[in-house]
Amino acid sequence: SGPPGFVALDCDTVLDYCAAKPEVAAALGGAEGRGAWSAKEVGDGNINFVYIVSNGAGGAIIVKQGLPFVRVVGESWPLTQERVRYEAEALMIAHGYCPQHVPEVHLYDAPMSVIVMRYLEPPHIILRGGIIAGTVYPKLAAHVGEYLATTLFGSSALAIGCEALRKARQAFGQNEDMCALTEQVIFTEPYAKADNNHWTSPQLDDAAAALRTDSELKSAICSLKRRFACDGAALLHGDLHTGSIMCTESTTFVIDHEFAFYGPLGFDIGAFLANLFLAYFAQDGYEGDRSSQREWLLACVKETWATFERRFVQLWDERGVSAGNAGLTPAALYDAGAGAEGDAAAALRAHQAAYMREVLTDSFGYAGAKMTRRVVGIAHVADLESIKDQDARARCERRALACGRRFMLEAKELSIEDAVAMAEELRA
């Protein structure tokens, strides 16, 4: 199956493929070295195949191929390969905004549904694994804050104006399949009876049942779903959990943009924060003293938001007050040099504060939704799943659920410090 020109690769044919594509062969030092090349399939995700192709001389690239179905389920759950186009474009756009935290794309091959990109060499590992292993990443918050600020600001109407936003959004398209998947597994199933749902049972049976009768939470999730589907404010990653980040102690890269779509900024921010909180709540299920990592995780929540906010406003000050009528904060209103009257600088600061407050509110809402679905929905997180003792795991998960619920219901009132304090109290 698959479109014309599509062939599913394997560890042998991927080498032929690389040799046949000049830009790929070049990245491996030239096709003439082909005899020394080798490939390994390392896809640990649920959906796609990922090959590391090494040239035997220390060089390597990543070849990622999307098949016309969900990998872990098989042909019975089809998925159009259009998602690979979205992923490739979003990767390239994000790399443009934030080259230091997004791998470079060497090739996007539409008929083959292949993306060839920079190999993030060891010691880069998937952040989630590093956190579970107890590692602390001192640069993570600053890097992810930078990634979020540059990509979300850069693709928003604040940077490019409303006209260009409309054009870019129309050209990018709607990533139908992946948005539909999100609507199913994040915004619907956790609050309903669904075959996909599972949880630590019987320990959390009551908590899962409570979600299905929680009218306040249902209203909150439906409001979040509405904005997910309607509020095309910026080009999002769309699935920014700690399994979509690769890092070392000094470097951080965001990968796997296949859920990219134009949506509300808080969806990406909330996804990342949710995964930090999930890791935080999981800690009590692990052996040994994790107190310093626990503190780091909460510091990371605060620093991510602080970095995001500071950088976003900085970019706004530098480039957000656009000259035209398409600007979201047009110079005519906010730039004294362009004739804006009154204390234009103070006016801009006041609007920026109001804007950031809305983004933070959305971030809490989406964070809560993500935490909830990771405990009772189709796809859980290894942070919690790796806790062997079911009672211990359920205790952690119950706290995560309680925290997620409060984030969703109290989003409008919470500061980032409140949110951290709430998590600490729920653990105490």
Ligand X SMILES: Nc1ncnc2c1ncn2[C@@H]1O[C@H](COP(=O)(O)OP(=O)(O)O)[C@@H](O)[C@H]1O
Residues that bind Mg ion (CB under 5 A): 45, 47, 256, 258
User: Is 323 an interacting residue with respect to its own copies (CB under 8 A)?
Assistant: no
Binding partner of residue 78 among its own copies, Mg ion, ligand X, none, CB cut-off 5 to 8 Å per kind = none
How far apart are the C-alpha atoms of 232 and 174, rounded to whole Å?
10
**What pairing do the DSSP bridges indicate for beta strands 69-70 and 60-65?**
unpaired
When the beta carbons of 160 and 240 are compared against Mg ion, the nearer one is 240
Binding partner of residue 223 among its own copies, ligand X, Mg ion, none, CB cut-off 5 to 8 Å per kind = its own copies
Question: Burial level of 213, CB count in 10 A (0-12/13-18/19+)?
Answer: exposed
User: Is 48 an interacting residue with respect to ligand X (CB under 6 A)?
Assistant: yes
Binding mask 63-102 for ligand X (x = CB under 6 A): -x--------------------------------------
Part in contact with its own copies (CB under 8 A); list of ranges 134-142, 217-225, 249-257, 269-277:
217-225
Do residues 358 and 397 touch, judged by C-beta distance below 8 A? no
User: Is 120 an interacting residue with respect to ligand X (CB under 6 A)?
Assistant: yes
Beta bridge partners of 54: 38, 60
**What pairing do the DSSP bridges indicate for beta strands 125-126 and 245-247?**
antiparallel
User: Is 255 an interacting residue with respect to ligand X (CB under 6 A)?
Assistant: yes
User: Considering only residues 263-302, where is the footprint of its own copies by CB under 8 A?
Assistant: none
Short-list 263, 66, 81, CA closest to 177:
81
| Minimum CB distance to ligand X, residue 191 (Å) | 25
User: Is 258 an interacting residue with respect to ligand X (CB under 6 A)?
Assistant: yes
Cα atoms in the Cβ-side hemisphere of radius 13 Å centred on 310: 12
Do residues 69 and 78 touch, judged by C-beta distance below 8 A? yes
Among 15, 27, 45, 334, binds ligand X (CB under 6 A): 45
User: Is 180 an interacting residue with respect to its own copies (CB under 8 A)?
Assistant: yes
How far apart are the C-alpha atoms of 419 and 414, rounded to whole Å?
6
Q: 3-class SS at 149? A: helix
Calculate the CA dihedral of residues 343, 345, 351, 353 and round it to 10 degrees: -120
User: Is 343 an interacting residue with respect to its own copies (CB under 8 A)?
Assistant: yes
When the beta carbons of 45 and 161 are compared against ligand X, the nearer one is 45
Binding mask 108-147 for its own copies (x = CB under 8 A): ----------------------------------------
Binding partner of residue 192 among its own copies, Mg ion, ligand X, none, CB cut-off 5 to 8 Å per kind = its own copies
User: Considering only residues 193-212, where is the footprint of its own copies by CB under 8 A?
Assistant: 193-194, 209, 212
Which residue is nearest to ligand X, using beta carbons? 45
Do residues 379 and 370 touch, judged by C-beta distance below 8 A? no
Binding mask 221-240 for ligand X (x = CB under 6 A): --------------------
Radius of gyration over alpha carbons of the chain, in Å? 22
How far apart are the C-alpha atoms of 263 and 152, rounded to whole Å?
10
Among 24, 25, 28, 62, binds ligand X (CB under 6 A): 62
Beta bridge partners of 118: 61
Binding partner of residue 184 among ligand X, its own copies, Mg ion, none, CB cut-off 5 to 8 Å per kind = its own copies
User: Is 166 an interacting residue with respect to its own copies (CB under 8 A)?
Assistant: yes
- Between the alpha carbon of residue 308 and those of residues 273, 313, 315, 329, 396, the distances in Å are 12, 8, 10, 19, 28
When the beta carbons of 221 and 246 are compared against ligand X, the nearer one is 246
Joined tokens for residue 331 = 């110079």
Given the rule CB under 6 A, which residues bind ligand X? 42-45, 47-48, 50, 62, 64, 103, 117-120, 126, 246, 255-256, 258
